[in-house]
């Protein structure tokens, strides 16, 4: 079900079919849209409610969640603005669909905006599965993420996200008292079956 009339993001929503599962907020990578991660969400959390917005920034016609100045160089003022907008949408959608705080499942650009939302708006997300995330803000805000569970999965051969950058993000979350698990797989930037398995097991805990 796609809604464009009453909420601030074009999105797809699938209601839960299994009681008690945390809803997932699906956040696509560059060039994806609101349908992109639905199959992944269904695979890693069968029966969970799925809320999947489309990024509102276009780069060469490809949707993203915030602007970048170059590969790996973010427009941090825009990151903050778009994180505010996404946090507001999450609040709207929770009221519209009767949802508890969701767990973000984000890939690449979607993982980065999820990281920014958790840092700038603690409590809006219950946690996150961040696939190929990198540091979204060079000067991280002071935030208390106690009780927030985060799974980061990086690729050792990722040409876009240096492993050191991902480790810095994991350490930043740990410093904010989040419960962080960081896994590094022998893969590149693309997703693998191992990503799916890790996410599925982590979400089932």
Q: What is the pLDDT of residues 120-164, one digit of tens each?
A: 999 999 999 999 999 999 988 889 999 999 999 999 999 999 999
Would the pLDDT of 84 be above 90? yes
Number of separate domains in the chain: 1
**Distance between CA atoms of 136 and 74, rounded to whole angstroms?**
7
Catalytic residue numbers?
Answer: 108, 158, 189
State pTM to two decimals.
0.96
Residue 72: pLDDT band with limits 50, 70, 90: confident
CATH label of the domain that carries residue 154: 3.40.50.1820
Distance of CA 148 to the CA centre of its chain: 13
Cα 156 vs. chain centroid, distance in angstroms? 20
CB atoms within 10 A of CB 202: 18
User: Residue 102's domain spans which residues?
Assistant: 2-203
């Amino acid at each position: 079900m796609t809604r464009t009339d009453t909420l601030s993001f074009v999105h797809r929503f699938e209601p839960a079919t299994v009681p008690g599962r945390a809803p997932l907020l699906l956040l696509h990578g560059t060039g994806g849209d609101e349908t992109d991660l639905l199959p992944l969400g269904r695979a890693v959390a069968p029966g969970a409610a799925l809320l999947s917005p489309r990024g509102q920034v276009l780069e060469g016609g490809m949707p993203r969640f915030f602007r970048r100045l170059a590969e790996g160089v973010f427009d941090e003022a825009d990151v903050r603005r778009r994180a505010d907008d996404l946090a507001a949408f999450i609040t709207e959608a929770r009221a519209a669909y009767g949802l508890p705080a969701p767990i973000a499942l984000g890939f690449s650009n979607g993982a980065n905006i999820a990281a920014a939302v958790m840092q700038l708006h603690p409590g809006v997300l219950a946690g996150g599965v961040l696939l190929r995330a990198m540091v979204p803000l060079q000067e991280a805000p002071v935030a208390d993420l106690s009780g927030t569970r985060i799974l980061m999965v990086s690729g050792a051969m990722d040409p876009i996200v240096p492993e050191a950058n991902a480790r810095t993000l994991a350490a930043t979350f740990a410093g904010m008292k989040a419960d962080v698990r960081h896994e590094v797989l022998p893969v590149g930037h693309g997703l693998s079956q191992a990503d799916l398995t890790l996410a599925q097991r982590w979400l089932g805990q």
